[in-house]
Structure 1
Amino acid sequence: MRRLHDARILMYSHDTFGLGHLRRCRAIAHALVDEFKGLQVLLISGSSIAGAFDFKARVDFLKIPSVIKLHNGDYTSLDRHIDLRETLAMRRAIIHDTARLFAPDLFIVDKEPLGLRCELEDTLHFLKGRGATLALGLREVMDAPHLLCSEWARHDVLRKIEALYDSIWVYGPDDFWNPLTGFELSTPLEARLTYTGYLRRHPPTSPPAQALPAADYVLVTTGGGGGGGPLMMDVLAALERTPELPHHWLLVLGPFMPAEEREHIHARARALPRVLVSEFDSHIEHLMVGARALVAMGGYNTFCEILSFDKPALLVPRVAPREEQLIRTRRAAELGLVDWLHPDDAADPACLAARLRALATRSPPSQAPRPPQLDGLETINRLVGDWLDSHPHARRRAGAGGR
């Protein structure tokens, strides 16, 4: 562990839908404070349930007003009584003032280069002028190239990335997918790109919040649950049609699933003898470790957990309004890491039941021809360590001592 004196990292997670951005940033922040003693990390998050997660010492979070993304891609304030423009103005002001007062040495931005509706742009210029280092972290799959190119072209995002960011970290291996497919990158920008590998997850050290199922079970999870109702109901339909399917089934709904979908799922599950339903578990890793296999969508964090805990998995990805999950799932299936179904096929109970039955004999990801690369957190620690060694301002804060 390297000892530091008051080195500071600020992180930004826009968080409009689901849990993925918050959980990814939290995993990175925890790895950094484990590696560097004395480092302080402050995470700015728009997640409405950030407080449901525990954070390690020297990691704190600042909750900004929440904005939610609707299924059609539009945004609205979480509090419907506040105008979206007012919410965005509050977010911009809080972010800028926090950056000014916290005075980070390094600013790590998750996924959105300019922030939600460009809310980071002024702050990025401000920190750049102060000499802070700016790093952009991207999922290994952002979206279909034609959709991402169109979205970024509206705000000249690629040019602004080159003007502002010192580093671009891709949270995946270089042989899985290029998140900037479709863009023509300049040589200087290409040189700033680093593929980290996937971010390995570990079981929590705290005890489970709920008792783990005693029987052999398959875990069905849709992350935050906001778009997960259809998959949960498709799984129930398959179990209703084929009650002789092996194993018990544990459905974790997620905090953002609409109330009417929850009630419908609970009612149907009560009629099935080997189906349990859980509302939400902030330490779902416990449930993943204990599961025989997983059924999920195709989100980044769940995929990392499938690889980390080496679980056979069936993925049914979201296909709209973004194609990110579809691209990730197809590529993972090509590499032999998971099985998958298009949601149109999963809506057929007989088809889904056959795939659920096959989970019992499916090999885990570690037995694929090309086992997954899971050294992303170690790579990020190395990148930050190299930056601390070379950055003059950080050296003034860094103390003596070794790793």
Structure 2
Amino acid sequence: MLSKAVHDFGTSVRIALYSHDTMGLGHIRRNLLIAEALARSSLRASTLIIAGIHEAGAFTMPRGGDCLTLPAYRKDRHGDYAPRSLSMPTTDLIALRSQVIGTALKNFAPDLFIVDNVPRGALGELTPVLEHMRDLGRTRCVLGLRDILDAPERVLDQWQRLDNEAAIRDHYEAVWVYGDPNIYDAIEEYAFPSDLAAKTTFTGYLDPTARLIPSDSDTDLFACLPRDLRQKGFTLCMIGGGQDGLAVAQAFAQADLPADEYGVIVTGPFLPALQKQRLLELVAGNPRIRVLEFLPEPMHLMRQARRVIAMGGYNTVQEILCLGKPALLVPRDRPRHEQTIRAQRLRERGMLDFVAVQECRPRTLSAWLHHVATAPLPAPRQTLDRDGLKRLPTLAATLIGGQPMYRNRTIPAPSTGWAGGRRYVAA
């Protein structure tokens, strides 16, 4: 049962979710998953997704939800930002996006504002917005963090430079970590001071299988694939958004696939045109390799795959683990080490395999493919807490209803109980 605060709302509440979306699709996909869970709950939330890429419009919005897409930034492998398409100074784009966000929130007037991963927004664009919302005093603000941000020393340095701790103290009533502290304890790893730790809740991972509702999506997707591929089975290679995954795709395209099996490569929408052409030329004439571009919902294809080779983003990893697929991760190692840390932690627990991007060669992938095709899948040595989406409606209702905050704990998922990680009790 959700708390009484949920049932006290006679009409749907308004919740806005922001993601800066400068590299890949992980932030927007995570916010869409959260928005769908809040819309389906007793909150009956009306959600406004504020996204940093126009590709967000290709996704299905939650019932009662809509999307505002901002002119986009791009981030290179060194972590530097610039306008993705518009010919204008970066400072002008920051001001433009900040004004658009501020106007949207003023008119939407959300009860709750969930910010993904960046306390001040990309390049500080949320700072004036948060200050105005604080002065109005109507909206509760939450900072949502993925399980792993980066290597601890890098996070501490960046947060100090950007004064993120002050932003959290001044503007956010809660911090939600979408992970399991038994895998990675952000409070300890990033040395949260006691007042920030008191605001922090580990929700558990967000289970993406909630998106796999009965539909015709599988049939529609497989209509575009060769019949032999559908009948004989395939390995799926995914490179996230695609902007830095060409080396993985090329190595897979040249790997020796198991006999009578096929390979499917999903490039993502950000693979540069010249790189995409190079990949297509590489696989031309190979009837056992199929290249697909952007898929708004990759899980339908992943569910049919025998095994997966992918980078190590939050959403992709959760999809792999929830579907129980044998997987080899090739995580990016710049501009952040987040994917590498995630792959290492999960390999230590027997949940998947991992190879560094510098070692991603056709013969390396061939050896893994042939080994995993014949070896039984080992049982993982540890399970994950994946009840995040079950907990979020109660956490949201607690904030919106003005109930006491949870202090440095995690609440149990409704009707399931929880027997791991931190315990949370009302203050």
Work out whether the TM-score is over 0.5: yes
Check whether the contact 1:314–1:356 (CA below 8 A) recurs between aligned residues: no
Supply the distance in 2 between the matched residues of 1:168 and 1:359 (Cα, whole angstroms).
Answer: 39
Counterpart in the other structure of 1:350: 363
AA matched with 2:387: D
Supply the distance in 1 between the matched residues of 2:188 and 2:356 (Cα, whole angstroms).
Answer: 23
Counterpart in the other structure of 1:398: none
Query: What are the superposed Cα offsets for residues 240-277 of structure 1, whole Å, 9 maximum, x if unpaired?
Result: xxx55562111111111011221121222233232111
Q: Greater shift after overlay, 161-170 or 332-341?
A: 161-170
Q: 1:364 to 1:27 in 2, by over 3 A?
A: farther
Deviation of 1:60 (Å): 0.9
Supply the distance in 1 between the matched residues of 2:104 and 2:48 (Cα, whole angstroms).
Answer: 10
Counterpart in the other structure of 1:59: 65
Please give the secondary structure, in 2, of the residue aligned with 1:123: helix
Supply the distance in 2 between the matched residues of 1:197 and 1:162 (Cα, whole angstroms).
Answer: 23
Check whether the contact 2:261–2:288 (CA below 8 A) recurs between aligned residues: yes
Q: Answer yes or no: is 1:76 the counterpart of 2:82.
A: yes
Which residue among 163, 167, 185 is the counterpart of 1:178? 185
Q: Answer yes or no: is 1:281 the counterpart of 2:276.
A: no
Deviation of 1:231 (Å): 0.2
TM-score (normalizing by structure 2):
0.86
TM-score (normalizing by structure 1):
0.91
Aligned residues between the structures? 388
Structure 2 residues not aligned, in runs of 5+:
405-414, 416-427
Q: 1:83 to 1:174 in 2, by over 3 A?
A: same
Deviation of 1:388 (Å): 4.1
Q: Greater shift after overlay, 31-40 or 278-287?
A: 31-40
Q: Answer yes or no: is 1:339 the counterpart of 2:334.
A: no
Q: Answer yes or no: is 1:187 the counterpart of 2:199.
A: no
Structure 1 residues not aligned, in runs of 5+:
393-402
Supply the distance in 1 between the matched residues of 2:43 and 2:164 (Cα, whole angstroms).
Answer: 35
Deviation of 1:37 (Å): 5.2
Query: What are the superposed Cα offsets for residues 133-183 of structure 1, whole Å, 9 maximum, x if unpaired?
Result: 111100110001111111111121112212221111111101111335554
Check whether the contact 1:170–1:194 (CA below 8 A) recurs between aligned residues: yes
Which residue among 210, 215, 222 is the counterpart of 2:221? 210
AA matched with 2:90: L
Query: What are the superposed Cα offsets for residues 279-298 of structure 1, whole Å, 9 maximum, x if unpaired?
Result: 12112111011111110000
Q: Greater shift after overlay, 108-117 or 350-359?
A: 350-359
Supply the distance in 1 between the matched residues of 2:72 and 2:351 (Cα, whole angstroms).
Answer: 35
Please give the secondary structure, in 2, of the residue aligned with 1:336: coil
Supply the distance in 2 between the matched residues of 1:244 and 1:64 (Cα, whole angstroms).
Answer: 44
Q: 1:384 to 1:249 in 2, by over 3 A?
A: same
Deviation of 1:45 (Å): 0.6
Q: Answer yes or no: is 1:359 the counterpart of 2:385.
A: no
Counterpart in the other structure of 1:374: 386
Deviation of 1:228 (Å): 0.9
AA matched with 1:380: L
Deviation of 1:6 (Å): 3.9
Q: Answer yes or no: is 1:120 the counterpart of 2:114.
A: no
**How big is the alpha-carbon RMSD for the aligned residues of Structure 1 and Structure 2?**
2.1
Supply the distance in 2 between the matched residues of 1:161 and 1:297 (Cα, whole angstroms).
Answer: 30
Supply the distance in 2 between the matched residues of 1:44 and 1:350 (Cα, whole angstroms).
Answer: 43
Counterpart in the other structure of 2:418: none
Which residue among 238, 248, 254 is the counterpart of 1:231? 248
Counterpart in the other structure of 1:222: 239
Please give the secondary structure, in 2, of the residue aligned with 1:27: helix
Query: What are the superposed Cα offsets for residues 76-109 of structure 1, whole Å, 9 maximum, x if unpaired?
Result: 1122412212111110001111111111111100
Identity among equivalent positions (%) equals 35
Deviation of 1:184 (Å): 3.6
Check whether the contact 1:169–1:196 (CA below 8 A) recurs between aligned residues: yes
Matches within 5 A, 1:6-21: 6-21=12-27
Supply the distance in 2 between the matched residues of 1:378 and 1:362 (Cα, whole angstroms).
Answer: 35
Counterpart in the other structure of 2:395: 383
Check whether the contact 2:140–2:400 (CA below 8 A) recurs between aligned residues: no
Please give the secondary structure, in 1, of the residue aligned with 2:93: helix
